[in-house]
Structure 1
C-alpha cells in the first residue's frame, strides 16, 4: 500500500486515540467526583467529551476518502473498517458518560455515601480500567497480547454487570417509600450508563482483535 495511505491511516488512528483518551479522562474525573460528590470534578469530566460527534464525523469522512482513493485490501482494509466502527462506539460511550454525569449529579448528594463507596465507585473503577485496556490495544501488534488484553477488558466489563446487579438488589431493599424509590431509581438509571460505557469497550476491543489478528467480525 502507498506511503500516502499509511500516512492517512496513522492520522486516523491518532484521531481515534485522541477521542479515546478524552473518554478515559472524563471517566477518571467522574470516578473522583463520585467519591465526594464534587461538582467541579463532574464539570471537568464533561469538558473532556465535548464535540465528540463532530470529531467522529470528521474521522468517518477521512475513512470514506481513504476507501475511495486507495481501495485497501486484507489487513489494511480490516484496520479501516475497524476504525470506522470504533468511532460509533466512542460516540455512544461518550453519550452514555454524559448521561451518567447528568444523572448522578442530580442524586449524588442524596444517596448514602456508603452505598456509593461500596458499589458505584468500584463499578466506575472497572469501567475506567476497561477503557484503559481497550486503548492499549490500539498500540499492540502481538496476537497473543491482543487476546490477553481483550480477555482483561471482558473481565472488567463483567465486574460492572455484577456490581450493578448487587447495587440494584441493595437499593431495592432500602427503598421504603415513594421518595426513596424515585431517588434510587435515578441512581440506578445513572449507574446503568456506566455499565453501557464498559459494554462499548468490549465492542472496541473486539474490533481491534479483528483489525490486528483477523477472524470473524462480531457485532
Structure 2
C-alpha cells in the first residue's frame, strides 16, 4: 500500500499544487504527487507526513492533512503487483521552499492547470478529486481561510475563492455573502492599505472556528 499527498496553495492568483519529478521507474522523469510505500506497522497519516518531508523537504506537522480517498484500480500502477493508494489532502497559506529527496529528482510548486493531465500513475484522477473536494469545502466550511495568513482582507479571501473555483467573483456580492455568514469571520479593527497604494484602506479580518467546521450559511459557487 502507498500514500499520496495533494498539497494546495494559491500563488499569484492561481491554484498551485506541490509535485515531484520522479527519479526512478516506473514513470522516471514524469511529474507526480509526493508519496510512497507505507512501512510495516506504520500509520497511514505518519507515512503521508514522512513521504512529504522525504520527497519535498516540507514538514507536514503544521498541515491539517485530511484523508481524501482510496484509489485501487487494478491498472493504476505499472509494477507487477497491485498497489492501492490512500490519498491525503492539505492546503497551506504559503508555498514553502522545497528540497527534493529519496526517489524525487525535483520538488516544485506548479499551477494546477499546468500539470493537470500530465501526471504519472493515476495522479491526474487524484488531483482532480482533491480539487473538487477543496472547491466543495469552500462552499460548506471555513477551509478558505487556510490559504491565507492569520489576518487578511476580504479581497485576499475572494482571491482564494476565485483561484479554487475558477470564477471571477463580483466583489460586492462576495462581501455581502461573507458578512451574512456571521460564524466565519470577525473584524480585527485594523485596516490595510490596498494593493498599489490607491483606494480606501481595507478592513482586516480574522477567522472564527476551525478550518473544517461547517458554515451555518453555505457560500455556493452557483450564487457567485
* Alignment TM class, shorter chain as reference: under 0.3
TM-score relative to the length of structure 2 = 0.25
Larger RCO (alpha carbons 8 Å, 6+ apart): 1
Higher helix share: 1
Higher strand share: 2
TM-score relative to the length of structure 1 = 0.26
